[in-house]
Amino acid sequence: MKKIFAEHKIGLIKILLSILLLIEATVLAHFDESLMSLICNIVAYGIISHSIIFHALKALFKKGKIDEKLLMTVASLGAMIIGEFFEAVLVLALYTTGEIFEDVATDSSRRSLETLASIRPDKARLVEGTIVNASSVEVGTIIEVFSGERIPLDGDVVNSVGSVDTSVITGESLPIEVREGSEVLAGYLNCNTPLKIRVKRPLGASAAQRIVDIAENALERKTKSEKFISVFSKFYTPIVIILALLVAIIPPLFDNYSFMSWAYKAFSMLAVSCPCAIVISVPLSYFCGIAYASKKGALVKGSSVIDKLCKIKSIAFDKTGTLTKSTLHVTKIEPISGVDKTELLKYVCIAEQKSTHPIALAILSEASKLNIVIDDEGKNHSESVGFGIECDSKFGHIKAGNRAFVGAPEDAHGNILVSLNGRYIGSISLGDEVKANAKIAFEKLTKLGILNKIIISGDKESKVKAIARSTGAQEYYHSLDPEQKLEVLELLISNSKGMVAYCGDGINDTPSLARADVGIAMGALGSDSAIECSDVVIMDDDIEKVARVIKIAKRTKRIAVLNIIISLAIKASMLALTALGLVPMLGAVIADVGVLILAITLSLLAGK
């Protein structure tokens, strides 16, 4: 409350002074002090009206714009001319109150986006202890972040295991573990051990800065609804003024020339016709929806995207990294007769232990889980890119790779085939595990009316088919390169009755993200292509957030449409009742302010 008063102190003081003077004028009039009463009314009007009149005239003469402030100026001046001082002042006091309420609501939503700008510290600590501006740190520099501090720049961890709170970036409530090689983003909070981080992006290209940029740019991309409101306001105000003039001039000619009575009705029409509720509430609804989505870990790049999300009927998903975990894991170990599974895995680990390839990391991780001790470092390691790796060990010469490299028989199957001293001894299969909540995410999409979920993957059929079955996808396509994925997407778009979204990891899916009606990039804040080509960025790998952001979009759209319907219906009713003289100016304005407050309240629900 103190903050609201501080930000709107002048407006609130104006309202209070004008109402106090209005009360005093009423009391003086009661005691036949008509001159003093008139002076109080004029001063009260001057206090509350001068800024409104100034902005109305400025908009009219500098921009040629007839806006709601001009309506209020003409209506209140007219009321003053015909002697309705009380209503003239109170009309503007209520209007100013509505403006303050609007500002408070808008500022509240804007702050929820602007807080993103503070998620990243402006200073960074170099490893020697020097504190410098984060903007001056070059790529490749190693910085240190202590426990309880926020990470100032994107980079890779170069020392021990630790944990970070990613909630302000991804919306994930639980801390995640990081270790050497893990990517961390600006804005993450270091939870425990000091972390040394090698900077990989300058401050301006950091994930945190991208979030801020997207949030700011989102407000500039208008929907059809917002464009309709702009056009509506442009023509609405002149039409209302003309109607009011007609009411003031024509009826008196047939009503004993009662110009004062009809002038009062005309000015009342102007007062009640202010389109504030519509003009304010629709953009505010979208603004609140975008802000709420960002809080939940999804960046929506503009209010126009909200409308598109509501029209999605089909979603095509990439498999790897989108529906599955991005890390590989061992799915099957198949040694030949006479060879133990532990022995087979151990031989491959000896060959792969110095490699940083994802396959090597998956195999070494499996050995660690099974507590297999690698007691031979091997020697003469040699890697043939795309074929395999080999080395000498105390057990003999080990080869691990594809069939041609190893010399395995035709009936051997698996991702990694293994030989010892030229003799094939077995295979290891790897896979990317489907995300635990992928099926739940698909079920949520179905409830939202998205009945067609398709998987488009470059992986082989058996794996894609298995994931399609486990998630409940209606169709799947396999063994596709990026160009073929795009061709499939084009086919889906041409056959779809609604909009088609594409959900990918934002790296090799750039063409499809750009072509889809709505591109949704998963956990891709570090990817330039994802930021540029997608319409929505899910800030972590949570596949359920696809359904969540669509749900937020649908609710936002419903609230915006409801605001338009309610505002127009009540506005039309009040105009008719005012023109017929059934509702006085003050009653009509109170109803109008009530509609404004109701519309703003409904708009704020889009951010809940």
Catalytic residues: 318
Tokens describing residue 380:
């003469």
Strand partners for 324:
434
Report the C-alpha gap between 344 and 553 in whole angstroms: 52
Within 10 A of 14 (CB to CB), how many other CB atoms are there? 20
For residue 402, which of 375, 377, 383 has the smallest C-alpha distance? 383
Rg (CA), the chain: 34
Alpha-helical regions (H) of 64-125 = 68-81, 85-114
DSSP secondary structure letters along 147-177: TTPBP-S-EEE-SS-EEEE-HHHH---S-EE
Residues in the chain: 608
CA distances to 251, 453, 463, 507 from 478, in Å: 75, 15, 9, 18
For residue 186, which of 218, 158, 171, 164 has the smallest C-alpha distance? 164
In three-state secondary structure terms, 222 is coil
* H/E stretch holding 243: helix 224-253
Within 10 A of 361 (CB to CB), how many other CB atoms are there? 16
Report the C-alpha gap between 135 and 152 in whole angstroms: 9
Backbone CA torsion sign across 239, 576, 267, 277: negative
Q: Are the beta carbons of 107 and 154 closer than 8 angstroms?
A: no
Q: Helix 85-114 to helix 34-63 angle, to the nearest 10 degrees?
A: 50
CA distances to 152, 165, 188, 210, 253 from 175, in Å: 18, 4, 10, 22, 77
Report the C-alpha gap between 15 and 22 in whole angstroms: 10
Strand partners for 520:
503, 536
